[in-house]
Structure 1
């Protein structure tokens, strides 16, 4: 893709973001009894700014014009955390330096020396991402002592880009890779994170706090991590956007691991443009041009080169999409229905397909092959990889120095057993064959081959631009005794292949959000985000949460099973 195409795509997505209508969202807030256009004290943040719907380009335009400061924005989010988070328990801690970071950004804005699209933008980090000045626990009391002392590589990128590191979010302890029957969103450090839409429902995991915080408008963007489903499922279940990047696009250095063969951090936000702009920072953007695979993935990714402001004569959002490659007209999309997720979810997919076809897309039904074999092989391979990778990470931290010591810590810590006592996955990983074992190597090679073929062959056979599927079922009731209610298969092909996936809001079932998952080929992140922006615009499925205490009964499907996240 040439420079003109890159500029055109950037202009389309940024222009569309600048032109997004705020009053309708504000009216919805009024209908639901909330109004996040104001701080929780009732003082307006800035005229026309709604924390639920405002985008990074709109914020940067206001900061460039002097009508908004990062300090004001950061204070608004800190107040909102103080007032709203007690209902959902998504944020573990806020950074004591957040306001100093914001003041530094304000000085750069005043002197015209901003560092890019995230300068002055508040970001929450999942608490398995190392921060030098705050604890990084993975939700476990075993790591609740001293901070790591150094930032993860992705945090270094965020700081260099001027982002305000607002705090850390709760997660499913050890990224849901401890017990056979875990409860997503629970950790010994943070307790249980609740779904903001219906508080007795689960937020999915393991990036539970990141997704719930965004749904509640506690930060502009957040960082999640995924091995299989841990970004996209919480995004879908909490009605936000989550992007799992291609493997290797974002550095995993300084992030608590499960498997180097599948782990990646990724951006989460309330809209696709903010997600894309955050990915451009996490992945290194301009500095990565020498890396052919990485620069290919980013070619066409929106990067805000300056602080854009509203100007007369801008095209409409629909015109921008049609002119600059984010239209759905002529796009070929494969729909993987997954009827096992229930009739209500399938009805959301039917409505979604109808809207996409009305926008000019060609939607064909597909079933990617090899899924049973992937499910059979993935878990045993992850056990061997977890033992190798967690031992390496624990060797860099104070506390248990390896998996065996971690198991003993949990056995002797009653606080680690308050929701569920099991650590069967730890024990199985300890006994798993090493990653030098030929049987393991054959498993991982077959997984890589079949997962990639499942996507590549499906896309080639139907000449597709992307494969879509439901991201999640309606959120199940949180229950420590039962554990999680579902294994959700849609995330697995892209997760195992190391290909990108993106969840955008698609609709809801009984107040509970359902996401649409989009998958594409290796390092096709930019194309996927561009398509996701067009899908998001056509579906218009986002709505603010109402923090209902409970909702109509959604029957569980099957027994409690382990969910690898």
Structure 2
């Protein structure tokens, strides 16, 4: 009996794990010098008034991480880094299969990395608003239930832009007015979870998806503070409005992230942070449960480090949503990633925009596409008339935001109009809207009939299609080549899909993306072409300070 008792004591002692990682308490810092330095920045969008959030305590986010990595050490992080850092999803899944990783350690690695960089003022990017406190617990369950038939997103940590509902965390759109918006899962989140994707947390964004003030920095929100670009914090713009998604994926804080776009809000931060971003055809992915600007133009989309990951993540989110009529024609069950390696540019005809050829990086990459076997035609599309564009967005938001409040918001949200948000912000404009709320005030005051709005939607769509279709038909083009989000407005109203892929860096190190544009529901073509280009060029590199 004594031997048995001693044995049990030894086993009990062995099972008592001592904490390996204790996260230090975050201390707010004096940001005065950095703000003064940026006051002279050449871009008004980088003339910051604030970097740290005035209403959020970063320790709340760090505490959501702390208990989940308490037994995960620095040595564990370093040992696993070669299996995860900059690796694509198929490679990560191969390491899971070989036993070098588990979904639990994969999730802990990302959480450790977030805590490592976000708990220092010199490396913090402010790109994460909140962490799912059950992420590691969910990963453990997935480790026990693996199947050979699982979707490739199974067990992969995912970040959501914080205008996308997730039942475990508030959905704020970065706004003080929405900090208590505990809502049910968005349609695309249900799809991700059904396939085993792990919601790691919420990414920062440009507040209200960049549609609340007349002039404001990309990446700033009252809840999250100022998102920074890992390639040049306070030097390079993050792009907007999916700024946190772009910055976080660039820094390898998660495998993939959801962004959303009305006009440029995936393309801009993806190209600015040297990642791959897809703005899908309107209606390919549901908007149900996503805080809107415009039901006419809004779409979520995947933001990833590679094209293969983009295709995998896109396939995980697709599906018809009975609550979103735009998805009626959405093709279901397409596995965009399955035949990616057959992708080629050979024999395809690309429209090269004449006005962009002065950009030497663009010119160099057009030459690379020619060398790969693509045919190029220089085109000079007619300038699109943007008159009415802002009225369209404002008119839609005046209708669509109340619809979100009524249909998708949490029970604690009692707002019924944009005017209610304006009134809330006026309680303390210094804290709630340091950059003002001129756009929201315009929306609240806008007087437009539904007939006029419907007519405007059709007219803007006609103009956008004309911008692309005239040269595409005249020259029998498959794809038009753009830069970053430079033709995002035209593609938005035309409802054309766009894929941006890293195409290099300026002399100063600022990332640039080449953007492929095709006709509606030609995402498979875009992804194959993007994959072929990416594999031939391999131009993305990890931000130096986040290696």
Select 2:175's aligned residue among 140, 165, 188.
Answer: 140
Select 1:382's aligned residue among 388, 393, 413.
Answer: 393
User: RMSD value over aligned CA atoms?
Assistant: 2.5
8 Å Cα contact 2:210-2:241 kept in structure 1: yes
Structure 2 distance, partners of 1:461, 1:520, is 15
What secondary structure does 1:460 align onto? helix
Structure 2 distance, partners of 1:382, 1:126, is 20
| 1:330 matched to 2:347 | yes
Q: Which residue of 2 aligns with 1:507?
A: 504
Deviation of 1:491 (Å): 0.8
Q: Which residue of 1 aligns with 2:186?
A: 152
8 Å Cα contact 1:125-1:165 kept in structure 2: yes
8 Å Cα contact 1:52-1:544 kept in structure 2: no
Q: Which residue of 2 aligns with 1:9?
A: none
Structure 2 distance, partners of 1:367, 1:40, is 56
Q: Which is further off, 506-515 or 47-56?
A: 47-56
| 1:359 matched to 2:372 | yes
Write out per-residue CA displacement over residues 402-426 of structure 1, whole angstroms, 9 at most, x where no aligned residue: 2111001111124545641x21111
Select 2:74's aligned residue among 41, 66, 81.
Answer: 41
Q: 1:45 to 1:117 in 2, by over 3 A?
A: farther
Structure 2 distance, partners of 1:428, 1:40, is 52
Q: Which residue of 2 aligns with 1:68?
A: 101
8 Å Cα contact 2:84-2:92 kept in structure 1: no
Select 1:448's aligned residue among 452, 461, 464.
Answer: 461
Deviation of 1:94 (Å): 0.9
Structure 2 distance, partners of 1:444, 1:164, is 37
Q: Which is further off, 93-102 or 429-438?
A: 429-438
Deviation of 1:49 (Å): 3.5
Deviation of 1:52 (Å): 3.6
Q: Which residue of 1 aligns with 2:19?
A: none
What secondary structure does 2:376 align onto? strand
Deviation of 1:227 (Å): 0.2
Structure 1 distance, partners of 2:427, 2:390, is 27
8 Å Cα contact 1:242-1:266 kept in structure 2: yes
Structure 1 distance, partners of 2:263, 2:351, is 21
Q: Which residue of 1 aligns with 2:155?
A: 120
Q: 1:45 to 1:497 in 2, by over 3 A?
A: farther
Structure 2 distance, partners of 1:391, 1:516, is 37
Select 2:330's aligned residue among 294, 302, 305.
Answer: 294
Deviation of 1:535 (Å): 1.4
Q: Which runs of 5+ in 2 are unaligned?
A: 1-71
| 1:103 matched to 2:140 | yes
Q: 1:187 to 1:292 in 2, by over 3 A?
A: closer
| 1:183 matched to 2:203 | no
Structure 2 distance, partners of 1:295, 1:390, is 27
8 Å Cα contact 1:196-1:216 kept in structure 2: yes
Select 1:494's aligned residue among 458, 466, 491.
Answer: 491
Task: Map 1:173-252 to 2 at 5 A.
Answer: 173-200=207-234, 201-252=236-287
Q: Which runs of 5+ in 1 are unaligned?
A: 1-38, 305-319, 473-488, 549-565
Q: Which residue of 2 aligns with 1:30?
A: none
What secondary structure does 2:293 align onto? coil
Deviation of 1:85 (Å): 2.9
Give the structure-2-normalised TM-score: 0.80
What secondary structure does 1:189 align onto? coil
Structure 1 distance, partners of 2:153, 2:229, is 27
8 Å Cα contact 2:518-2:526 kept in structure 1: yes
Deviation of 1:98 (Å): 0.2
What secondary structure does 1:266 align onto? strand
What secondary structure does 2:145 align onto? helix
Write out per-residue CA displacement over residues 50-78 of structure 1, whole angstroms, 9 at most, x where no aligned residue: 53421111122222233321111000000
Structure 2 distance, partners of 1:500, 1:43, is 41
What secondary structure does 1:349 align onto? helix
Q: Which residue of 2 aligns with 1:94?
A: 131
Q: 1:48 to 1:547 in 2, by over 3 A?
A: closer
Structure 2 distance, partners of 1:164, 1:299, is 21
Structure with more relative contact order (C-alpha pairs < 8 Å, separation 6 or more) = 1
| 1:430 matched to 2:467 | no
8 Å Cα contact 1:40-1:83 kept in structure 2: no
Structure 1 distance, partners of 2:483, 2:438, is 29
8 Å Cα contact 1:370-1:450 kept in structure 2: no
Number of aligned residues: 462
What secondary structure does 1:49 align onto? helix
